[in-house]
Amino acid sequence: MSSEEIVTAAVLVIGDEILSGRTPDRNINYIAAHLTRVGIRLREVRVVADDEPAIVAAVNALRKSHDYLFTTGGIGPTHDDITADAVAKAFDVPIDHDPRAVELLMAYFARRGIEATSARLRMARIPLGAELITNIVSVAPGFMIDNVIVLAGVPDIMQVMLDDVTPKLRTGAKMLTETIQLQRPEGEVADLFAAHQKTFPDVAMGSYPSFADGRVSTQLVLRSTDSALLKGAREELERVLASRGLI
């Protein structure tokens, strides 16, 4: 594929525990950074409850508007783990115990002397036609069907699943970043930075203020897939900042 191709993605976080505040999300930032590194642009993130119609609607909307949709959460052994069923419904395909997943789980249970209960075997229910995603932490697999990648909600498991599926994905132009750290409040450079954005319209720019140890600082962040353009934008910005005594 062309290194200039833009490949986009969305993330759908599923779980009442996220919306209630009981469990803080630890997956969005990790997925965003991972996708940026490999050349996939994360364009949208949604959070939905453990509600099948809501999950189905979100899956169908996001998979049609992005190259990939990553879901996290809802593929465990309990009654409220309904992501696999909802994804099957979104694709209008049957779901049942997948022999490949059953074999993996039964071997895992046998090695550890764990009873193969019906609840635990729920984790082997996979929509027809899906490809399994390996889970080297606790064996129960994720899966990929068309452009939808269904991952666990537990961060350590989600991460190994993401590593497994990444080589199977299309990737595009990688976003490069340059950062200038200023010991100045954002307001002092806002007009100058806005003018610089007009000079370099093809470079994405953002300013990010922070306050620590009683001091205000601002990061000016420039992003582009074109390394030469990005370098030129940074050098010109540094020149203008220096001429104003701001750096």
* Mean predicted lDDT score pLDDT of the chain: 94
Q: What percent of the chain has pLDDT over 90?
A: 89
- At which of 133, 168, 203 does a domain end? 168
The yes-or-no verdict on residue 2 having pLDDT over 70 is no
pLDDT confidence band for 3 (50 / 70 / 90): low
CATH classification at residue 48: 3.40.980.10
**Model pLDDT for residues 183-229, shown as the tens digit of each residue:** 999 999 999 999 999 999 999 999 999 887 778 899 999 999 899 99
Give the model's pLDDT for residue 1.
42
- Dist CA 41 CA 32 (whole Å): 8
Residues 81 and 158 in one domain: yes
- Residue 169's nearest CA partner among 46, 25, 37 is 37
Count: domains in the chain:
2
Which domain CATH number covers 187?
A: 3.30.70
Q: Could you tell me the two tokens for 220? A: 């000016």
pLDDT in tens, 34-71: 999 999 999 999 999 999 999 999 999 999 999 999 99
109-133 pLDDT, tens digit per residue, is 999 999 999 999 999 999 999 999 9
pLDDT above 90 for 84: yes
Picking from 220, 219, 224, the residue whose alpha carbon sits closest to that of residue 203 is 224
Q: Which domain holds residue 63?
A: 8-168
Q: Are residues 65 and 129 in the same domain?
A: yes
Any domain includes 229: yes
Could you tell me if residue 1 is inside a domain? Answer: no
Nearest Cα to 50, choosing from 27, 72, 69? 72
Residue 3 lies in a domain: no
Helix (H) or strand (E) holding 175: none
Which residue from 221, 225, 226 is spatially nearest to 196, judged by alpha carbons? 221
* Residue among 204, 176, 188 nearest 241 (CA): 188
Last residue of a domain, one of 138, 168, 198: 168
Same domain, yes or no: 137 and 239: no
Tell me how crowded residue 8 is: count the other CB atoms within 10 A of its CB.
16
**Which residues in 13-28 are b (16+ Cβ under 10 Å) and which e?**
bbbebbeeeeeebebb
